[in-house]
């Protein structure tokens, strides 16, 4: 099954007012998205997780709150203080969970990698799906039309990065997120070879080739005992399952696999263990 109808439904339910009118991105931001409020000093490690999740759930996207909470916990728990890498940020829902977990644990924040396409970066393929130049990523016409109307036409944004930055600032996590416009391999080439990261979250191009490229571009940047996880490890995305099974679950370098919703989590071994 390609991008499933539930994604279309999620988009409709998020962006329709009274089931009739599509909200513009600017109205959506003004009415819905609120900053996270920290009710106590973070150094005392007291915060209202439920309230924070309520805030982040208002960010457009299809990431389940259970997966969001898992990302928050993992980014706080992953050994070390090095930054987190995310591939596939869209409008910042998963990014915000990762950034909030990092902030709560007083660790470094998130490099948010996405092609953040502008309207001209999309094309209609001969397969009937919309693609981004330079990626196998695909959207149905219906989902593409919803997004394109929301972001570029009604919203008036030149590209997704502009809206992403606005949302991250609005929820109060601007100091924890560094966006990178490009692919995982371009990002890997832009950092020094001795750079290390404590966690990698992959949710970009869901084809076998796309996930494989993300793994091979980034895996050497993950510290020993670091955490790697993949969204949409589910039958709707056979490419994700195939790439993760072949390159992570069958690899002697990873263990401690677990599944939260459709989030597949693995731990990189320490050398010699
Ligand atoms: C499923 S969405 C990510 C959803 C996001 N994690 C959230 O919580 O809402 C996939 C994203 O991957 C991006 N993308 C697609 N192909 C990519 C690639 N090759 N490299 C980087 N990003 C890519 C798309 O622009 C899109 O924003």
Range of the domain at 217: 5-268
Q: What is the pLDDT of residue 37?
A: 79
Candidates 59, 204, 233, 236: which one to mutate for ligand 1, based on the most atoms within 8 Å of Cβ? 204
Strand order of the β-sheet with 110-114 is 177-181, 110-114, 84-87, 197-202, 222-230, 263-268, 254-260
Q: What is the pLDDT of residue 23?
A: 67
SS (H, E, C) the chain: CCCCHHHHHHHHHHHEECCCEECCHHHHHHHCCCCCCCCCCHHHCCCCHHHHHHHHCCCCCCCCHHHHHHHHHHHHHCCCCCCEEEECCCCCHHHHHHHHHHHHCCCCCEEEEECCCEHHHEEECCCCCEEECCCCCEECHHHHHHHHHHHHHCCCCCEHHHHHHHHHHHCCCHHHEEEEECCHHHHHHHCCCCCCEEEEEECCCCCHHHHHHHHHHHHHHEEEEEEEEECCCCCCCHHHHHHHHHHHHCCCCEEEEEEECCEEEEEECCCCC
Candidates 62, 70, 96, 115: which one to mutate for ligand 1, based on the most atoms within 8 Å of Cβ? 115
Tokens in use for 149? 């109307």
Torsion-angle region of residue 18: left (phi > 0), alpha (psi -120 to 50) or beta?
left
Cα–Cα distance measured from residue 203 to residue 196, given in angstroms and rounded to the nearest whole number: 20
Tokens in use for 180? 């990178």
Q: Is 183 in the pocket of ligand 1 (CB under 6 A)?
A: yes
How many folded domains does the chain comprise?
1
Q: What is the pLDDT of residue 89?
A: 98
Q: What is the pLDDT of residue 13?
A: 38
Q: Is 146 in the pocket of ligand 1 (CB under 6 A)?
A: no
pLDDT, averaged per 10 consecutive residues of the chain (273 residues), comes to: 35 38 74 79 67 91 94 96 98 97 94 97 96 95 93 92 96 96 98 95 98 98 97 97 98 96 94 62
Residue 181: other Cβ atoms inside 10 A:
18
Does residue 69 form part of some domain?
yes
Q: Which atom of ligand 1 is nearest to the CA of 97?
A: 8
CA dihedral 117, 121, 122, 125 (to 10 degrees): -140
Q: Is 265 in the pocket of ligand 1 (CB under 6 A)?
A: no
Does residue 221 form part of some domain?
yes
Does residue 32 form part of some domain?
yes
Does residue 273 form part of some domain?
no
Please provide residue 162's backbone torsions phi and psi, each rounded to the nearest 5 degrees.
-60, -45
Q: What is the pLDDT of residue 40?
A: 57
Give the CATH number of the domain where residue 120 resides.
3.40.50.150
pTM: 0.91
140 C-alpha to center of ligand 1: Å?
15
């Amino acid at each position: 099954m390609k991008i499933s109808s539930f994604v279309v439904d999620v988009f409709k339910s998020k962006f329709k007012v009274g089931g009739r009118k599509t909200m513009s991105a600017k109205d959506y931001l003004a009415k819905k998205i609120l900053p996270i409020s920290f009710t106590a000093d973070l150094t005392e490690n007291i915060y209202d997780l439920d309230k924070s999740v309520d805030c982040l759930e208002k960010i457009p996207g299809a990431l389940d709150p259970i997966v969001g909470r898992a990302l928050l916990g993992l980014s706080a728990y992953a050994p070390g203080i090095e930054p987190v890498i995310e591939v596939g940020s869209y409008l910042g829902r998963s990014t915000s969970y990762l950034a909030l977990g990092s902030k709560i644990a007083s660790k470094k924040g998130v490099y948010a990698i996405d092609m953040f396409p502008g309207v001209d970066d999309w094309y209609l393929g001969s397969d009937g799906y919309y693609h981004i130049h330079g990626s196998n990523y695909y959207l149905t016409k219906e989902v593409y039309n919803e997004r394109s109307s929301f972001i570029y036409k009604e919203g008036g944004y030149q590209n997704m990065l502009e809206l992403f930055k606005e949302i991250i600032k609005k929820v109060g996590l601007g100091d924890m997120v560094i966006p990178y416009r490009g692919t995982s391999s371009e990002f890997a080439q832009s950092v020094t070879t001795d750079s290390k990261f404590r966690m990698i979250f992959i949710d970009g191009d869901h084809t076998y080739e796309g996930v494989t490229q993300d793994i091979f571009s980034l895996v050497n940047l993950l510290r020993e005992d670091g955490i790697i996880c993949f969204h949409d490890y589910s039958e709707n995305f056979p490419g994700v399952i195939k790439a993760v099974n072949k390159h992570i679950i069958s690899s002697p370098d990873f263990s401690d696999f677990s599944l939260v919703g459709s989030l597949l989590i693995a731990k990189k071994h320490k050398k010699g263990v």
